[in-house]
């Protein structure tokens, strides 16, 4: 008897709804300073002149140590369909590829930034959680040779996030790490993201 095994590829929000995966593809012409329209907005301590497109298909940004505060924070808002919500009943498995390159502290330590997720729900509430507390994610590893794929993480299982059937209108990833204590002088941190998927 002949047996066939079918591998079912889960649908991805950006691919299915936007017809444009969050693969950080560069755009030409009138572009945002971060070089890709897969990211709708940024926030935090990004250095305004620190975005590059030296590697095709990758978001590259630098967190500026000169901005006040005791924590490096870099937020990116993934592009979603205008005037609509992400269907949280259909799309809830998060995976991505990223790396942190920080010269601060002991360079032999692979731990880099924590990753937070924050979203705006349909009712206006902000949903947030530290995804680095989840075994599927952990901390974003530090070092040029520490490029890694993370997930998938079922967001419905993340304690305190509240990923439910309301839908979300904004979807942000936030890279966070404490600045070194005085008298050390903090140095810029390079964050790179290759792709993000939110699948069934």
With respect to residue 178, please indicate whether it lies within any of the assigned structural domains.
Answer: yes
Instruction: Quick: pLDDT tens for 65-94.
Output: 888 788 899 999 999 998 899 999 999 999
Give, in order, the Cα–Cα distances in Å from 136 to each of 103, 131, 165.
25, 9, 23
| Nearest Cα to Cα of residue 187 among 76, 75, 98, 105 | 105
- Quick check: is 38 in a domain? yes
Q: Residue 53: inside a domain, yes or no?
A: yes
Residue 2 lies in a domain: no
8-state DSSP, 49? T
| Domain assignment present for 6 | no
Total number of domains in the chain: 1
Distances (CA, A) of 86 to 82, 137, 172, 188: 10, 22, 12, 33
Instruction: Supply the range of the domain harboring residue 156.
Output: 13-199
For residue 139, give the nearest of 163, 162, 173, 116 by alpha carbon. Answer: 116
The confidence score (pLDDT) of residue 6 equals 46
Contacts of 177 (CB under 8 A, 6+ apart): 71, 72, 100, 102, 104, 112, 113, 114, 189
> 6 Cβ partners below 8 Å, 6+ apart?
none
> Could you tell me which of 63, 22, 15 has the C-alpha nearest to residue 42?
63
Higher-pLDDT residue of 94 and 32 is 94
SS3 content of the chain, % helix, strand, coil (to 5): 5, 40, 55
Cβ atoms 48, 86 nearer than 8 A = no
Residue 166: which CATH number? Answer: 2.60.120.260
- What would the pLDDT profile of 101-144 be if each residue is shown by its tens digit? 988 755 444 568 999 999 999 999 999 999 999 999 999 999 88
């Amino acid at each position: 008897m002949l047996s066939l095994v079918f591998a079912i590829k889960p649908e991805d929000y950006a691919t299915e709804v936007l017809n444009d995966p969050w693969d950080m593809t560069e755009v030409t012409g009138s572009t945002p300073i971060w070089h890709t329209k897969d990211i709708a907005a940024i926030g935090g301590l990004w250095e305004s002149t620190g975005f590059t497109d030296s590697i095709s298909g990758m978001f590259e940004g630098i967190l500026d140590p000169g901005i006040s505060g005791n924590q490096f924070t870099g937020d990116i808002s993934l592009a979603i369909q205008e005037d609509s919500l992400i269907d949280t009943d259909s799309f809830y498995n998060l995976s991505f590829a990223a790396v942190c390159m920080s010269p601060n502290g002991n360079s032999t330590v692979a731990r880099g930034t924590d990753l937070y997720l924050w979203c705006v729900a349909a009712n206006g509430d902000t949903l947030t959680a530290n995804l680095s507390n989840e075994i599927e994610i952990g901390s974003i590893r530090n070092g040029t040779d520490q490029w890694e794929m993370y997930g998938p993480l079922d967001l419905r299982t993340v304690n305190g996030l509240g990923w439910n059937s309301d839908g979300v209108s904004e979807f942000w990833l936030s890279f966070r790490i404490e600045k070194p204590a005085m008298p050390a002088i903090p140095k810029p941190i390079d964050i790179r993201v290759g792709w993000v998927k939110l699948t069934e």
